[in-house]
């Protein structure tokens, strides 16, 4: 009797688990998305007494680029040339922030893979690097068309995680100072989020700060840390 009861309970548990998995929200199809983001950029700096006309070390990190173990820009100890009476030869804190919005389509194939394409519109606000050495540029705005591939998993509890396929990101600038240039990103950090009960709406954001590196076609290599949030709405077709 006890053995029969145990088998009955086990069968019920397996049936319930299979039913729960079948009823769990899944992701498949194309979703329109919008979102906002902001990045702390730490490009480093090539020192000079005048503005340099081009990157002196194209394709390589500049001195002071990147972040320390506290996720602070490595140039944090440098004095700013924009302060009153800066010391001679001050390089300045060349780290800066940029913000942008995006709109596009993210397609999930139902088997853990997908593709993203969209448009980004960004602003680089004051203070920006300069006035001497490299990089140096005034505040500006610009836009670009981007795409990348990704993989994703659904956890069965109404959540999901999507991770960019390394080295698949490509963007072409269509307006602003970098018009005509392209940029790649080594790896955008994963986004994690929630699936609506009907599976037609998703929300997601980064859960942890991660350093990512943007490499521009003019030779600039800029490490940055970004936060991003996205809302996805399933398209009819």
pLDDT tens string 138-160: 999 999 999 999 999 999 889 99
Q: Residue 130: what pLDDT?
A: 84
55, pLDDT greater than 60: yes
d(CA 225, CA 203): 21
| 0.85 exceeded by pTM | no
Q: What's the confidence (pLDDT) of residue 20? A: 36
Rg, the chain, Cα only:
23
Specify burial of residue 148 (Cβ count, 10 A radius: 0-12, 13-18, 19+).
Answer: buried
- For the ranges 5-14, 98-107, 137-146, 184-193, the lowest mean pLDDT is seen at 5-14
- Which pLDDT belongs to residue 121? 98
pLDDT at residue 92 tops 70: no
Q: Where are the domains of the chain?
A: 27-234
The predicted-structure confidence for 98-110, as pLDDT tens digits, reads as follows 999 999 999 999 9
Q: If pLDDT is split at 50, 70 and 90, which confidence band does 25 have?
A: low
Q: Is the pLDDT of residue 2 over 50?
A: no
pLDDT at 26: 79
Lowest-confidence pick of 6-10, 65-69, 74-78: 6-10
pLDDT for res 83: 46
């Amino acid at each position: 009797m006890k053995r029969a009861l145990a088998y009955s309970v086990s069968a019920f548990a397996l049936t319930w688990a299979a039913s729960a998995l079948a009823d769990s929200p899944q992701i498949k199809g194309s979703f329109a998305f919008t979102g906002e983001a902001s990045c702390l950029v730490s490009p480093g700096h090539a020192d000079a007494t005048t503005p340099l006309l081009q990157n002196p070390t194209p394709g390589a990190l500049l001195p002071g680029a990147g972040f320390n173990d506290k996720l602070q820009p490595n140039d944090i100890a440098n004095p700013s040339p924009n302060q009153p009476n800066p010391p001679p030869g001050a390089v300045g804190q060349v780290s800066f922030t940029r913000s942008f919005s995006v709109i596009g389509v993210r397609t999930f194939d139902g088997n853990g893979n997908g593709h993203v394409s969209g448009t980004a519109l960004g602003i680089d606000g004051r203070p920006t690097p300069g006035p001497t050495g490299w990089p140096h540029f005034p505040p500006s705005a610009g836009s670009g068309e981007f795409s990348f591939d990704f993989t994703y998993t659904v956890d069965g509890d109404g959540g999901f995680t999507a991770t960019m396929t390394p080295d698949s990101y490509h963007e072409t600038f269509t307006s602003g100072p970098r018009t005509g240039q392209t940029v790649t990103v080594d790896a955008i950090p994963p986004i994690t989020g929630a699936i609506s009960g009907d599976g037609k709406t998703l929300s997601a954001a980064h859960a942890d700060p991660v350093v990512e590196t943007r490499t521009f076609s003019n030779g600039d290599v800029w490490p940055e840390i970004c936060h991003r949030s996205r809302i996805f709405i399933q398209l009819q077709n």
